[in-house]
Each structure stands twice: as C-alpha cells, then as structure tokens.
Amino acid sequence: MDQKDNDELLDKAQALLDNGDQESYFKINHQLASSGDARGVFNVANCFFHGIYVAKDLQKAYALFQLLAEADIPDAIYYLGLYAQEGYLEDPDYARAMEYYKKASDMGDAWSAVQLGMMYSLGQGTDIDYEKGFEYYKLGYERGDVLACANLGWCCETGQGTEKDLKQALRYYWEGATRGEEHCVEAVKRLSDPEASETAH
C-alpha cells in the first residue's frame, strides 16, 4: 500500500472509532502497523494504553512507544514522559519526564509543552516557576492543545505567572469550552455567575 492508501485507512479507522466500532479500529491499525506504518503502530500502542478493544496493557504499550521514540516520533516521546511522570511501570522520575517532554516539545509537540508547563507550575523535577509554566502553556496553546486554554485561563484568572486579567481568562476559557474542554466549560459557568465566582474565591 502507498501513503495515500494508508491515509485513507487511517481516516476510515478513526471514523469507525468515532461510531463506537473499536474492533475495526484496532484491526485496521494493527494491519497498518504490521506493514510498518508508524501511525498504525502508535494507534495500536494507544489501544493498549487506554484499553481500546484490547485489554489495557501498559507494558505492551510502553514497548511500542519506546520503539517509536527511537525513531524520533514526538507523540511517542510524550508518552514516555507520561510514564516517567506518573510512574506507570516504576517509581515516578520527574527529571526523566522533563527530559522527554523537553525533547518532544523542541520537536513541536503541543502536549509535551503543556506538560512541561504543569511541571514548572507544580515544581515537579524543578523549582516552581510560574512564569515558565505560563510560557509553556502559551506554546502548547499556539500549537493547538485545548487543555492549554484551561491552564492559560487559570493563570490569567489568578495572576499565576502573568498579570491578572479576568477578561483574557474568560476568552481562553470560552475558546476551550467551544472545543469541549470540561474544565473550561465549568470555568465559563463559574465566571458567568457572579455569586458562584465570589464563592469560589
């Protein structure tokens, strides 16, 4: 199969998953993975990670993410960071997680930029640095990550790492809410209700 055929199969698989057909989604991606398509391998790994059609198996998922990371696939490097940060297979290692996230972020990965922002904001693997956290949230936002809307909104609402600006906070929250981000939906409701907002603070 050529690249166009693979692209069409991936689109078909995603449409099937969106309609609840996990079995077909897995089988199509397994077929692609067997032919050497990196996206198919990643999707199969994701199935094992989340338990989509197959039983959840973090060890199998990790092995596949490692394989992809060796080929410098940013999404896979992000997942290695997540394993290190959350301690899925061994004790958490925040310093190693930051290394993975930094590498993937430098390659343009949005998820990794947001995770770096969280680690700086929480002081995981580094000293707390709200300004740096805000910078990485902004980077993730510019790359299209929807969770970054919630994080930037919170920073602007509370003045964490940036100037306090409730109007800008609401803009970020509203954008995230229109894209279905749950924290943003709740924040829009809260900030749109003066009594609730006052109670929350």
> pLDDT digit of tens for each residue in the chain (201 aa)?
678 889 999 999 999 999 999 999 999 999 999 999 999 999 999 999 999 999 999 999 999 999 999 999 999 999 999 999 999 999 999 999 999 999 999 999 999 999 999 999 999 999 999 999 999 999 999 999 999 999 999 999 999 999 999 999 999 999 999 999 999 999 999 988 755 444 444
- Give the per-residue pLDDT at 1: 62
Q: Can you give the pLDDT at residue 194?
A: 59
Cβ of 126: how many Cβ atoms within 10 Å? 15
Q: Are 26 and 47 in contact (CB under 8 A)?
A: yes
Q: Give the pLDDT score at 200.
A: 45
pTM of the model: 0.89
- Cβ-in-10-Å burial (0-12, 13-18, 19+) of 14 comes to middle
pLDDT at 193: 75
Farthest-apart Cα atoms in the chain, separation: 60
Contact 136, 173 (CB under 8 A): no
pLDDT value at residue 2: 77
Task: Specify the 3-state DSSP secondary structure of 100.
Answer: helix
CA–CA gap between residue 76 and residue 73 (Å, rounded): 6
Per-domain boundaries in the chain: 1-71, 72-137, 146-201
Alpha helices by DSSP H, 19-129: 22-34, 38-50, 58-70, 74-86, 94-106, 110-122
CATH of 72-137 given 3.40.640.10, 1.10.3720.10, 3.40.50.720, 1.25.40.10: 1.25.40.10
Predicted confidence at residue 195, as pLDDT, reads 58
